[in-house]
Structure 1
């Protein structure tokens, strides 16, 4: 994501509005570079995963999104 004040809050608000629980969040920043946000979320299934990823991907400050693991 583009590193700016409030970007994590905006993503978490979008997840909360969809009633998705976040069980872990980690943010890494480096001056002058995009930030990396890793989230562990609890989803109902693959359909909800796809919809959620599309919603986050459509946010202006999100540069990329990927599923990195299960469990």
Structure 2
């Protein structure tokens, strides 16, 4: 998958103050749910997400925000 797609998702997550659902993230990034889910799984495996309820409540961890500052 293109790095650009990861960047789009990461930038949108950085803008969010509150947890966001995968559906809303897909709408805001104009990307398919399956692609968003794949990217979120990768971010989650790196410890960059707090993922609750199967991507219904997603927020970046402090670790992710620090690395992107």
TM-score (norm 1): 0.35
Query: 1 or 2, which has the higher strand percentage?
Result: 1
Larger radius of gyration, structure 1 or 2? 1
